[in-house]
Chains A and B, each alone.
Chain A
């Protein structure tokens, strides 16, 4: 979980600022149709709820919120509205309001996983890491199909709570690897990040080897390992890893060597080689 200002918020603002040149599109049409219905039946709570969700899908958070509140004012009582409203508050960075909505939902249904997942996010943003961890653990325990993100997010909460809790974060990642499979790339990558924080050279080196093992192509991970070893002033080992990176690069089919990313990687490899020779 990254600090909150995300790109969707940025573009959300952009949308508001941009003139609406194009008034078409599935959602636009459906919103317009719903608005007509509301004009004909202005006290119909369901219609406001429906339009709110259309606005939400359109990532038009303010209009979504306005419709949800209007639906509630008119007596809409289904629990789902609390959840949707909370989602909108999360986008609007109104974490306290959002948390309140999740409580209203919990009063109706305390078992639903998705509400606990949402609460974990609110607690995290409100820096109540203990509660965020509890909510995450509930999700981990009760979700049938877990994704790597479930573990990564919880690991990040631990670290945010206290940078000394890297072992707890590692424990969670290892649990994820055990549950989902040791070849899951982003979990192995996250594990590397945590090991780098811990700074145990042997463990880090081993983790680079793990990443090398789960990938068909090795040039990038040998290079990453070489950079790490160079930073650790292990020049001989760094040179060896860098040469392996180069050798792996040479094994690539020519058209794969010539992508921008690989051209850049090769320049990096050469650059490191120069540094190691100087």
Chain B
């Protein structure tokens, strides 16, 4: 039963595909057939091409009796009726396959030039005139077209189709026969890029591909491989195809195939699928992210890194693919993208995982963010209106998106204004304060910390991203930053607040969290802990410079913020499950040379958290210059004063009635009082 269903499903799928192929009609429904209905078997080899059927009667299909819908009525007392038709095929080599359709009541065996090609509702063995069909065919089934696709084995010149139609019993009241045969030509067009997926959301995805010649864009898709029951078409003739599929179900696998107006160009199979993003929000499911930095060398190093990752994931799905820039050397040209990304490179991944990217300097050789033009902008489709979550940036140059419980922020460090108060900065600040995600991952090309083939102490883009963007990102709880540019792997401790030069890095003040100065590994120094309470609440991020997915370029690799600095090829795998983030650096030889874990504490309710925003206390006077008086509804057991960047500048044990603040510099401070029950109350203090 299951086997039959599977077979039927497969046939339907096959015929659906074939409808879109270039088809030649060889036998049409209603065609004229020779038939033999004398109540016995014809003498001689009636199935073969050379058989002389001149004495047989002829008539147009549908042939049969008993239903009243026949065009030609045959002898109702025959247990088995025989049909023949000879067609002339001048050039059979142009066809790749034959598609057969038949109305049969009750059981039939079909021969092509004497060889059996189809048996339907008949038992095994050589049937005779008195062999009966397997099961009665009733009602709707009597007029249902049965289908079968077979390889082409037509001969040049004449070919004969011979059919024997058997009754189910001696007493059956009807038989029916009609037949269609078409031949499939190989597709006239081919895909030379893709398909690749872009701008994935819980309910939509953009599918893009490039064809050799101009054609329409057709995607057949559905949640079952055997039933691609939906179609999206764009009738414009183009070579660069882009179709957005909308109205999809979140977190669902869809199989798809690529076609044009006449042919299927890339047919459905178990690997041709995409998975819509889950609805954003907290989740215990795992999100798997693959990050590639400076990968675009188009060589075997790049392929080795790719294969090591493919090996690592096996059959598991990759949810998010991140390109960290410099995706195609030397200049990010379209032809370079072809060899560095699309052809003999990541095509297997790109057709099932949505790729996102930030622009590298080499991409910038041929593309321009000011006008959003050039290959980089032509190749990628990114959200500009917050379609994938996040605040609408209005530009593809920088944007954000959500995936499950993660918010991704993609910045442009290459060719746009990187200043504080610039448009990218303002957008980013609003965006990061607009997310409810559990995790925040930011990416751009030029790393804030590196002593690899680039130096974050002297190169302006690197310095500006560090000085301008890091404080804001850290103030808003960024967890992981991924960059490239230096062709090595450099991974930091759990750090916060380091926006100076290398020599300013201070392990005592810039490394945070109980295990912050360790390797971040469970079972070793312990995972990095991001807390929700206490003076280090919300502090701590890991910075990775991961630009070795295509080549290594050595150098001193001695940045003091880095726990691990490796002159090795590889890529980053980030797996996020609920409140745990695991990162692994998978080398080109499959060895995992570095890994770490961040664990965040997610109190489930505010009562678990030592904070009560409903209560506040007052400070008099405010602004102040020498002494302040605290007026709190609840007595404090201790009071902390923090400066603007969160450094503690004063600590008083007990419940002070006045505090001397005369030694504090002019500026803005936060006074945090901890009540006897452990609640934190905050108030702003201005010192003038």
Contact = CB atoms under 8 A, between A and B. Distances in A.
B419 A270 contact: no
B670 A264 contact: yes
Interface stretch (B221-229, B239-247, B426-434): B426-434
B299 interface: no
Contacts of A143: 371
A33 B553 CA distance: 16
Contact of B682 (A15, A20, A267): A267
Contacts of A40: none
B505 to A, nearest CB: 16
A261 B539 CA distance: 11
B538 A255 contact: yes
Contact of A267 (B361, B468, B477, B683): B683
Interface string B472-485: 10111100000000
Contact of B436 (A14, A187, A217): A217
Nearest to B538: A259
Nearest to A177: B394
A135 B453 CA distance: 40
Interface string B586-628: 0000000000000011110110110101101111001000000
Contacts of A18: 457-458
Nearest to B370: A117
30 contacts: A7-B419, A7-B467, A11-B463, A15-B460, A18-B458, A21-B455, A22-B556, A24-B554, A144-B373, A148-B423, A149-B423, A176-B394, A183-B386, A185-B426, A185-B427, A186-B426, A250-B614, A254-B532, A254-B602, A255-B438, A255-B532, A255-B538, A257-B609, A261-B477, A262-B433, A262-B538, A264-B670, A270-B682, A271-B622, A271-B684
Given A147-B372, A184-B392, A264-B644, 5 more contacts: A2-B419, A8-B418, A25-B455, A114-B371, A255-B603
Interface string A49-93: 000000001110000000000000000000000000000000000
Nearest to A211: B430
Nearest to A220: B433
A254 B609 contact: yes
Contacts of A144: 373
A109 B385 CA distance: 34
A181 interface: yes
A270 to B, nearest CB: 4
A181 B431 contact: no
Nearest to B554: A24
B464 interface: yes
A35 to B, nearest CB: 18
A101 to B, nearest CB: 18
A246 B682 CA distance: 13
Contacts of A260: 474-476, 538-539, 645-646
B556 A185 contact: no
B464 A7 contact: yes
Interface in A185-229: 185-187, 189, 214-217, 220
A217 B384 contact: no
Interface of B: 361, 368-373, 377, 384-386, 391-397, 417-419, 421-423, 426-427, 430-431, 433-436, 438, 451, 453-455, 457-461, 463-464, 467-468, 472, 474-477, 487, 530, 532-533, 537-539, 553-556, 600-603, 605-606, 608-609, 611, 613-614, 616-619, 622, 642, 644-646, 670-672, 681-684
A12 B606 CA distance: 48
B393 A184 contact: yes
**8 A-B pairs with least C-beta separation:** A184-B394, A267-B684, A145-B372, A148-B394, A271-B684, A259-B477, A258-B537, A259-B538
- The CB with the most chain A CB atoms within 10 A, among B397, B619, B684, is that of B684
Given A186-B423, A268-B684, A256 B384 contact: no
B555 A270 contact: no
A263 B535 CA distance: 11
A183 B392 contact: yes
Interface residues of A, number: 66
A12 B601 CA distance: 42
A263 B371 contact: no
A152 B370 CA distance: 13
A126 interface: no
A113 B374 CA distance: 13
Contacts of A249: 613
Contact of A261 (B373, B453, B476): B476
A266 interface: yes
B683 A183 contact: no
A107 interface: no
Given A217-B435, A255-B532, A273-B616, A185 B392 contact: yes
A141 interface: no
A255 B478 CA distance: 12
A180 interface: yes
Contact of B391 (A117, A185, A263): A185
Given A148-B423, A264-B670, A274 B683 contact: yes
Contacts of B435: 216-217
Contacts of B539: 260
Contacts of B477: 255-256, 259, 261
Contacts of B611: 254, 257-258
A215 B391 contact: yes
B427 A186 contact: yes
A8 B614 contact: no
Contacts of B622: 271, 274
A15 B539 CA distance: 31
Given A25-B455, A274-B619, A255 B419 contact: no
A209 B427 CA distance: 18
Given A267-B684, A271-B684, A184 B434 contact: no
A26 B619 contact: no
A150 B560 CA distance: 41
Contacts of A14: 458, 463
- The CB with the most chain B CB atoms within 10 A, among A24, A214, A258, A273, is that of A258
Contacts of B434: 215-217
A186 B394 contact: yes
B457 A148 contact: no
Contacts of B454: 25-26
B533 to A, nearest CB: 7
Contacts of A7: 418-419, 464, 467-468
Given A147-B395, A260-B646, A274-B618, A185 B430 contact: yes
